[in-house]
Structure 1
Amino acid sequence: MKALLDVKGLRIGFAGKEVVHGIDFQIGVGEKLALVGESGSGKTVTALSLLRLVQNAEVAGAAQFAGADGGARDLLAMPERALRGIRGKEIAMIFQEPMTALNALYSVGDQIAEVLELHKGLSQRDAQAVAVQLLADTGIPEPARRARALPHQLSGGQRQRAMIAMALACKPRLLLADEPTTALDVTVRAQILDLLADLQRKHGMAVLLITHDLNLVRRFADRVAVMESGHIVEHGAVATVFDAPRHPYTRKLIDSRPTRDVAAVPARADAAPVLKATALRVSYPVPIAGVAGWFRKGAFVAVQGADFRIAPGETLGVVGESGSGKSTLALAALGLLRHEGQLDVAGQRWAASRQSDRALRRVMQVVFQDPFSSLSPRMTVEQIVGEGLTVHAPELDTAARRARALTALADVGLTQAQFPALLDRYPHEFSGGQRQRLAIARALIVDPQLLVLDEPTSALDVTIQKQVLGLLQRLQRERGLSFLLITHDVEVIRAMAHQVIVMKDGAILESGPVDQVLDAPSHPYTRKLVAAALAD
């Protein structure tokens, strides 16, 4: 097979410290190569360095790219001006975090159209029409309306699909896909993979897939290269590597599926639920087209008539596709959104008053999906973890708060023995999994009864995901915690939940014990989710 990209002796360093150590790999025309490894293995910086997108990186080696004109050019030696003509046109990239990659001030349609205007010479009107079609191709509902939306007005999965549409706009010869389906649910993930495969067949596009999702690799890639600490430790055909892995690190990755280790919920007939919702409804005002919109606004119902309860020590899993209302339900449960219906937290209701609701904030804490964006980069670990105590335990002095912070950090597996001067460090000094442990410690320090877990492991690689899920399971057993677990990952639900509700378009379609719902689903939509998870 003719090589489209031939990388030899690629070395990448920062301030004299080498992080990628002379790796070699090739991608053939129309081939799908997956680069797999844990966070910090060097896979993302490898992809970014091919287009010289890493600031202050010391890059050596060669990356010969066969252009559309048939001539081979070294991407690492090209002038910046010439490389600009290749970026986005012949080689495109899907970035891992769309919220930081998309411009917050422009609609997603305008951002996709800009690529078409620059590289294809389309008029503004034609570019906008193509942008809407590209959004439709990636599975976004109401693509014309979504094209006019700003990035923050889309769900995480929808933002990722918009980023994919932008990358595919010019039909590049090589697509560098850095965790392209991290934020997507299983059914949309399947759609995106089918879309990429279809475009590859039509246009002969090659794909370098950067991922920690081994199921994605097994389903999508032709060949796989496994990276550990800046070295490629194993490579070959996907079937060969997965069925007979030779390297211990590859075997460790393959064995890192979530495992179920949850305690039974204590059977106490008199125990009041930690959280109970009855006919919970959340709606947002939306403009109405035409003259009628001058006088009134319409309503978009994000959660409609939801009923559920969470007992002490129980995990309720909420599963559904992006835009199904999962995160809106969680925000309403946290008292962060106006809602209708009845919502009781430890027997009390949110009063929309800072003073009245303060006690409930201690009962109910949250761990967000992306710890890097939810932890302030300007605050030390001591300030981040101990912040809740300044609100909920103001009587504690500085020494007592430090002691409580160290205890909370130790509970999640972070100690001063591992990290000298731990309390004085900043979030950027930790890996993704360690930052998520910091987020859990911050939530635990005020001794809550319930944690809302909003996609707590979707941004983590498989081995770290297994560690974090094991940590949460241990904390639940030791503390009797309840969890409201929001996720699109059926395997995480199966490993963690006691009860599960399935949501679509704001409505609960099915609910019950996790074994009953996942092993014998009664609703067609649930069967579709479970089938997609098994196929994945």
Structure 2
Amino acid sequence: MTERDFSQSVEPLLKVEHLTVAFGGRPVVDDVSFSIAPGEKLALVGESGSGKTVTSLALLRLLPDAQTTGRVLFNDGGQSRELLGLPERDMRGLRGDDIAMIFQEPMTALNPLMTVGEQIAEVLRLKRGLSGVPLAEATVDLLASTGIPEPARRASAYPHQLSGGQRQRAMIAMALACQPKLLLADEPTTALDVSLRGQILDLLVSLQQKNGMAVLLITHDLNLVRRFADRIAVMQRGKLVEQGAVVDVFESPEHPYTRKLLDSKPERDVVEPNGEGPLLMEARNLRVGYPVPLPGLRGWFRKSEFVAVQDASFSLLSGRTLGVIGESGSGKSTVALAALGLLPFTGDLELEGGRRWQRKAGADKPLRRLVQVVFQDPFSSLSPRMTVEEIVGEGLLVHAPEVSAVERTERVRQALGEVGLEESQFPHLLSRYPHEFSGGQRQRIALARALIVEPRLLVLDEPTSALDVTIQKQVLGLLQRLQRDRGLAYLLITHDVDVVRAMAHDVIVLKDGEIVESGSIAQVLDTPQHPYTQRLLAAV
């Protein structure tokens, strides 16, 4: 391990010595040592599977099936306590009080059957003994401290009724309920758009300074590290390979793996199509609205309408990529669902040859072959009960039922090979299940499923937002190659400006359901005219 500026001028708040975590005798964290000073912000970075999250969970002894050795020393008011040997009763008292954690995905970490206010109140009741009116007031005050709008109303909401950024703020409120000395933040901004990432980051900075707590940030987002952390520790395959001040490591990384991470920014490798290709999709004055109940007795008799997309017009030619960017709630995913014929809309949406969605299974079947989709999270979009062969070959069963079982299996192999998955590399590939693959490999399976029916247009809904920077770069390179080889058109939905810059030929910017700016990638990203676009780019 390369170690720079590791010595602390003050007594560390947390000191980890030779931590090793194994499952079934196989170490996934191997001889890791680092420390965090009071009030310091340390970023633990690395790819999926590097051991970042396991390390953070081991600090709180939240891995009951693991074999853990080493020492974790926590400085509790001048008294050093060894956490790995601490009785469970004492450990329960320390969790939440002195060391709190923000988990990676608030939608799964929050209880769907309890309001967010009830979940925050539970912590306050158990840890601080509050009840009645003081409990209710403290719950709302905690939500208000995170900057969530209308905190009293949001306290009565269930997790699914909040946006991604609001759920993350609720998680932060729970973690800070007892003003911990150390906050473990596991990918706190994953899959949030750039402006929300900036807001959550600014919130963590202000709360960290206000409460004087230390933060261990687990992330693969290097832009986040550069803006937030004081020091960085880099993990690869369970080992800590480099650590030091953020400025030093970013300016002169010493380990090859650190240099690889820093060089993983998406690269533009797209071809400008010669001449005008065939028109695959054209939207004119697209409008999507949802009925919502009116408050009070009026809601019994009539409903109002929430307009998610208003007066949107765009076109997409063969071999080109149209990027759609905007914040959460801007209408990006609604545009994608309308383009796929999965939502009712008004206006006009015309596909190749002047065809239109009828929203009838039989009538739309030929168009389903023309337009395919790759979703944001392949783990939830791939059936856990189906093998890879069944998942990828399902489209042929629907769109080419005349293909024999033998030929279908061969075409599944070809589709998987085209996205970089070969049986020579993955024995028994066709009989494996999605959980046996990494996030990047699952996304390749999702791509193969879409490509096997030979579509002309792919709707890509945040295809790399949940992937590490190195895996993201590989998947984007694969998409660029497929576009060159097949002449595919992409409707790319993303909040990542770097991905749009690498992939798109044209771009539209959505705000509150309306297109506020559109044009070529150079026009919109290099010389933005609308203040909203300028703000999005400034948040990168």
Q: TM-score, normalised by structure 2?
A: 0.94
**Corresponding position of 1:37:** 46
Q: Residue 322 of structure 1 aligns with which residue?
A: 328
Residue 150 (structure 1) shift: 2.8
For residue 425 of structure 2, give the secondary structure of its aligned residue in structure 1.
coil
CA contact (8 A) 1:139 1:188 kept: no
User: What is the CA distance between 1:167 and its match in structure 2?
Assistant: 2.2
DSSP 3-state at the match of 1:274 = strand
Change (3 A) 1:396 1:416: same
Residue deviations 1:69-99 (CA, integer Å, cap 9, x gap) = 4432222222223222222232111111222
Q: Secondary structure of 1:45's partner?
A: helix
* Cα-to-partner distance string for 1:228-259 (whole Å, 9 max, x where unaligned): 11111111111111111111111111111011
1:7 and 1:277 map into 2 onto residues whose CA distance is 57
Name whichever of 295-304 and 341-350 sits farther off: 341-350
* Partner in structure 2 of residue 338 of structure 1: 344
Letter in 2 for 1:257: K
- Choose which of 380, 384, 387 in structure 2 pairs with 1:380: 387
**Secondary structure class of the residue paired with 1:349:** coil
- Provide the rounded CA distance (Å) in 2 between the counterparts of 1:56 and 1:63: 18
User: Contact (CA 8 Å) 1:325, 1:503: kept in 2 or not?
Assistant: yes
The residue aligned with 1:169 is: 177
Instruction: Answer yes or no: is 1:19 the counterpart of 2:49.
Output: no
Offset at residue 410 of structure 1 (A) = 0.6
User: Does the 8 Å CA contact 1:33/1:207 hold for their aligned counterparts?
Assistant: yes
Alignment check: 8 A CA contact 1:304 1:506 kept = yes
Matched AA of 2:427: P
Distance in 2 between residues matched to 1:82 and 1:141, nearest whole Å: 37
SS of structure 2 residue aligned to 1:264: coil
Question: Is the contact made by 2:276 and 2:317 (CA closer than 8 Å) also made in structure 1?
Answer: no
Equivalent pair of 1:501/1:510 in contact (CA under 8 Å)? yes
Instruction: Give the aligned partner of residue 153 of structure 1.
Output: 161
CA deviations on 1:95-140 (whole Å, 9 max, x unpaired) are 1122221222223333233222322333365545544454455454
1:458 aligns with 2:465: yes
Native 8 Å contact 1:158 1:322 kept in 2: no
Q: Following the alignment from structure 2 to structure 1, what is the Cα–Cα distance between the partners of residues 358 and 275?
A: 31
Q: 1:214 aligns with which of 209, 222, 229?
A: 222
Tell me the CA shift for residue 206 of structure 1.
0.7
**Residue 182 of structure 1 corresponds to which residue in structure 2?**
190
Distance in 1 (alpha carbons) for counterparts of 2:105 and 2:64: 17
Which of 332, 342, 355 is residue 362 of structure 2 equivalent to? 355
Instruction: Give the equivalent residue in structure 2 for 1:399.
Output: 406
- Structure 1 distance, partners of 2:468, 2:132, is 40
CA distance in 1, matches of 2:146, 2:457: 36
Identify which of 255, 262, 285 aligns with 1:247: 255
Please show how residues 72-83 of structure 1 align to structure 2 within 5 Å. 72-83=80-91
Give SS of 2:319's match: coil
Q: 1:445 and 1:124, CA in 2 relative to 1: closer, same or farther beyond 3 A?
A: farther
Distance 1:171 1:327 in 2: 37
Distance 1:436 1:320, change over 3 A: same
CA distance in 2, matches of 1:382, 1:124: 57
Distance 2:243 2:509 in 1: 39
For the structure 1 residues 105 and 360, does the alpha-carbon distance in structure 2 shift closer, same or farther, using more than 3 Å as the test? farther
Q: Distance in 2 between matches of 1:254 and 1:59?
A: 31
Give the 3 Å change call, closer, same or farther, for CA 137–264 of structure 1 in structure 2. Answer: farther
Aligned pair partner of 1:446 in 446, 449, 453: 453
Contact map agreement 2:13 2:75 (CA 8 A) in 1? yes
Could you say if the C-alpha distance between residues 152 and 16 of structure 1 is closer, same or farther in structure 2, counting changes exceeding 3 Å? same
Residues in 2 aligned to 1:124 and 1:477: alpha-carbon distance in whole angstroms: 64
Using a 3 Å threshold, how does the CA distance of structure 1 residues 190 and 205 change in structure 2: closer, same or farther? same
Change (3 A) 1:484 1:460: same
Partner of 1:60: 69
| Structure 2 residue 214 is the aligned partner of structure 1 residue 229 | no
CA distances 1:353-398 after superposition (whole Å, capped 9, x unpaired): 1111222211111111111121122211111111111111111122
Inter-partner Cα distance in structure 2 for 1:311 and 1:411: 23
Alpha-carbon spacing, 1:51–1:332, altered in 2? closer, same or farther (3 Å): same
Residue by residue, what CA displacement relative to the aligned partner does 1:155-199 show, whole Å, maximum 9, x if unpaired? 444433332333233322111111111121112211211111111
> Deviations along 1:452-473, whole A, 9 cap, x unmatched?
1111111111111111110100
Q: In 1, distance between residues paired with 2:148 and 2:461?
A: 22
2:492 counterpart residue number: 485
C-alpha separation in 2, matches of 1:335 and 1:124: 50
TM-score (norm 1): 0.95
Q: Distance in 2 between matches of 1:125 and 1:266?
A: 69
- C-alpha distance in 2, partners of 1:110/1:350? 44
2:285 equivalent to 1:285: no
CA contact (8 A) 2:15 2:72 kept: yes
Q: Distance in 2 between matches of 1:489 and 1:358?
A: 32
Shift of 1:440: 1.0
Q: Look up the equivalent residue of 2:114 and give its one-letter code.
A: Y
Bigger drift between 116-125 and 452-461 goes to 116-125
Distance 1:386 1:155 in 2: 35
Q: Relative to 1, partners in 2 of residues 1:521 and 1:196: Cα closer, same or farther, differing over 3 Å? A: same
CA deviation profile, 1:184-224 (whole Å, cap 9, x unmatched) = 11122112111111111111111101111111111110111
Matched residue pairs, number?
Answer: 530
Opposite residue 322 of structure 2, the aligned amino acid is L
Please state if 1:89 is matched with 2:102. no
Partners in 2 of 1:280 and 1:202 — Cα distance? 46
> Conserved in 2, the CA contact under 8 Å of 1:35 and 1:208?
yes
For residues 299-324 of structure 1, the C-alpha deviation after alignment (integer angstroms, 9 at most, x for no partner) is 22111111111111111111111111
CA distance in 1, matches of 2:472, 2:535: 24
Partner of 1:522: 529
Cα offset for 1:478? 0.5
In 1: Cα distance, 2:461 partner to 2:132 partner: 39
- CA deviations 1:451-504 (Å, max 9, x no partner) are 111111111111111111101000111111111111111111111111111111
Distance 1:114 1:519, change over 3 A: same
- Asked if 2 retains the 8 angstrom alpha-carbon contact of 1:266 and 1:312, the reply is no
Q: 2:305 & 2:139 partners in 1: Cα distance?
A: 27
Instruction: Name 1:309's counterpart in structure 2.
Output: 315
> 1:324, 1:504 within 8 Å by CA — same for their partners in 2?
yes
Q: Secondary structure at the match of 1:360?
A: helix
Where does the alignment leave 5 or more consecutive residues of structure 2 unmatched?
Answer: 1-9
Identity among equivalent pairs (%): 67
CA contact (8 A) 1:279 1:342 kept: yes
Alignment match, 1:276: 282
* Alignment of structure 1 residues 104-115 onto 2, 5 Å: 104-115=112-123
Between 1:450-459 and 1:75-84, the stretch displaced more is 75-84
| Distance in 2 of aligned mates of 1:262 and 1:283 | 35
